[in-house]
Structure 1
Amino acid sequence: MEGVELDIVIVGGGIAGLTTSLGLHRLGIRSLVLESSDKMRNTGFPITAYTNAWKALDAVGIGDSIRQHHQRLQGNVITSTITGLQTSKATFAKIKGKHGGHEIRCVQRQLLLETLAKELPSGTVRYSSKVVSIEESGFYKLVHLADGTILKTKVLIGCDGVNSVVAKWLQFKKPAFSRRSAIRGCVDFKSGHSFGDRFMLFFGKRFRSGFLPCDGNTVYWFLSWTHSSQENADKEREMGDDPAKMKQFVLHKLGKIPDQVRAVIENNELDRIILSPLRYRHPWELVWGNISKGNVCVAGDAFHPMTPEIGQGGCAALEDGVVLARCLGEALLKEPNRATKDRAEREREEYKKIEAGLKKYAEERKWRSIQLVTTAYMVGYIQQGYGLFVDFLRDKILASYIPGMVMKMADFDCGKLN
């Protein structure tokens, strides 16, 4: 049996889903967010919020609220773990873009999600709501949930991650494995850390690690690597879900790094370490695929999953939310044709407006997403590649060029909501 008719259903209560819902709320448009877990997500590690992310956060009105909890990073230092020598150093204030100076902070994901959710009207997020299938019903979509509920909606937005049900309905393939994996962790130092306000990045043979302070007490870290042999794949399977083995693996691969950096890993609690394969969507799928179709579209990782080398996954999801809310708002807030009296004609007219709004969003986000996915993959290939030529290219030629490329991807403004 069909449930209550809804205007907009957003599948997924992550960064993209909550940002889209908040953007629509700021425009006076209600939506329902379906979250499969039974409560607000408390998993996931901090995100590097670059300049483009802050443009989006300011657009939905929570930028200052997030800023006050996170320190601003002033620069980065890149070091080879093979030689122990610095290969480059950058001060962010000296790097100017077409949108002015750069703002970079490492943001706690849980705090970001909680802040987004608190700005939404009560009841906007519905928990324990796993979508299992989607069905056509005239100008509507029927969203079938695992508990047997069926929701009827005028607009369906998929923000349900790399295993998106909505992306599958739009006929996107499953994201491809990049042949790279990552282990991540986060450490709270009660008496404060000694990292200051700089992002420390290390490169070794097929390995890349980074250490970013979120505030005066918290440091987020990661280690990612390229699978060069069956041996590496076997080691990953051996680690499984055992964080103690993951921790030892990271300590073994860090190479020549300062003691203060090694101490971060050693002090990390086991329940705050996680391993994940790195997946991405082939750029040509975004060229030819259906980012939107009729009254359905995707955003965030359901749209453009990417490898993390340029730190743009979460930032791009925030951009998506603002642009999608704006395009959909422009469509839905248009004055209806007063000459249209028949209900079927009114529904058809509204469907066409929604379709046009989602198409506009898809066109605006397509090439930006292709650029981000491609750049992230290529930067990762260079940073974690192996062989004499790649080592020479990375350490002697591209060491100072790559940080500029990363900042160029962050030099973007998604615009205001209206």
Structure 2
Amino acid sequence: MEPVEEIVIVGAGIAGLATALGLHRKGVKSLVLESSPTLRSTGFALGIWTNAWRALDALEIGNKAREHHLLVERVTVLSPSSGATLGEIRLEEIEGKKSTVGQLERCFWVLIGGDGINSVVAKYLGLKKPSFSGRLAIRGLAEYPTNHGFKPYFIQINGQGFRAGMIPCTERVMYWFFAWHPSVNGSEKADESTTAMREFIVKTLSNSKVPKEIIEVIQRSEFEEVRSSPLRYRSPFSLLFGDITKRNICVIGDAFHPMTPDLGQGGCLALEDTVILARCLSEAVYQNKIEEGLEEFAKIRRWRCAKVVTIAYVVGLLQQSGNWFVRILREMLLGWFMAKALLKIPDYDCGNL
């Protein structure tokens, strides 16, 4: 009996679909499984840094994606206590290189888990459950009837027990986020209702030196679809020493390396995964060495992902801390350092397919 697609991808999110596309570019067929019977409108925005653009270019969809995005020109970090600018970095888009593809006539049974932070495949591999960072986050969108008038800057406000920011998605839509420790200032009840969430965020920002324009963005947002969510991450030790692959099974994306969103790299690392896995797996199919190909993928990704998960956690902890010593250090030095860190992590090239 002629075999059907024998590479099965669990989860039709960013990682799953991009992996399927990467394999398709290499002439390898795959089957994507998704539990939802219909398309869902979830999430708010996806930040695409340089490393992700390189991955999208390798998948040959970078130019198409550029037609639907707004280029951010600058990252600005503000002090919540004084309103002063602590750090400012200009951003430049770096073009990647496109890849050539080949064709294959046969493939072998492989299971790829791209099924998110609560991954069943990760559980099967024995990876530890993601840990709670002790922080919650709310994300939202503010829509304007015409141009909102904001420059294409990524504005961040860090400290006093919270971390907030906003960034334009289009000329009419602003994305914003707010992260906090639920045990601070009685805010553990902030997510009991949409009204309570809005009042808590506006009150917290109003008690700081945050520009009124930022508060107005949040006040304009519709809170019906806004929910707070715990920020979780997988221990770097689990990434370094756990079973990312086992025989013919592996994980990618949030099923592999869930992290706090403090570097905006979750989706970007998932796209890196897809290109590297498609390359390793297609080469392994050519040589009939599937297990070795998956092990090579794990070898390439372990340290990179553990590093980014660690830095994201530490940066979020320092940025949000209300400790007086950390606050002084942050406002004197760390604002500039953290802004630079936002550029160093994306300076990674996953290569071509």
- Whether TM-score is above 0.5 comes out as yes
Query: In structure 1, which of residues 176, 180, 186 is the aligned counterpart of residue 131 of structure 2?
Result: 176
Output the CA distance in 2 between the equivalents of 1:85 and 1:403: 15
Give the 5 Å matches for 1:18-417: 18-93=17-92, 102=94, 154-229=109-184, 231-232=186-187, 234-236=188-190, 239-240=191-192, 242-254=193-205, 255-334=208-287, 350=288, 353-417=289-353
Output the CA distance in 2 between the equivalents of 1:46 and 1:178: 22
Q: CA deviation at 1:102?
A: 5.0
Q: CA deviation at 1:6?
A: 3.8
Counterpart AA for 2:24: H
Q: CA deviation at 1:259?
A: 2.4
Output the CA distance in 2 between the equivalents of 1:333 and 1:212: 44
Aligned-partner SS, 1:403: helix
Q: CA deviation at 1:356?
A: 0.7
Q: Which has the higher Rg, Structure 1 or Structure 2?
A: 1
Output the CA distance in 1 between the equivalents of 2:328 and 2:94: 29
Aligned-partner SS, 1:274: coil
Deviations 1:286-315 (A, max 9, x none): 111001010000000000000011110010
Output the CA distance in 2 between the equivalents of 1:168 and 1:230: 36
Identity percentage over the alignment? 47
Output the CA distance in 1 between the equivalents of 2:218 and 2:273: 34
Output the CA distance in 2 between the equivalents of 1:102 and 1:309: 22
Output the CA distance in 1 between the equivalents of 2:184 and 2:152: 37
Q: CA deviation at 1:204?
A: 3.1
| Structure 1 runs (4+) greater than 6 angstroms displaced | none
Counterpart AA for 2:71: R
Q: 2:100 aligns to what?
A: none
Counterpart AA for 2:277: L
Aligned-partner SS, 1:33: strand
Q: 2:99 aligns to what?
A: none
Q: 1:122 aligns to what?
A: none
Output the CA distance in 2 between the equivalents of 1:229 and 1:223: 14
Q: CA deviation at 1:229?
A: 4.9
Q: CA deviation at 1:40?
A: 2.2
Output the CA distance in 1 between the equivalents of 2:159 and 2:276: 38
Q: CA RMSD in A?
A: 1.7
Contact 2:5–2:29 (Cα < 8 Å) also in 1: no
Structure 2: tracts of 5 or more residues without a match: 96-107
Which moves more between the two structures, 33-42 or 166-175?
33-42
Deviations 1:296-342 (A, max 9, x none): 000000000000111100100010111111110111133xxxxxxxx
Counterpart AA for 1:293: K
Q: CA deviation at 1:365?
A: 0.6
Q: CA deviation at 1:256?
A: 2.3
Contact 1:92–1:102 (Cα < 8 Å) also in 2: no
Output the CA distance in 2 between the equivalents of 1:398 and 1:270: 33
Q: 1:223 to 1:395 in 2, by over 3 A?
A: same
Aligned-partner SS, 2:60: coil
Counterpart AA for 2:204: K
Structure 1: tracts of 5 or more residues without a match: 94-100, 104-152, 335-349
Aligned-partner SS, 1:397: helix
Q: CA deviation at 1:5?
A: 5.4
Aligned-partner SS, 1:48: coil
Question: What TM-score results when the alignment is normalised by the length of structure 2?
Answer: 0.91
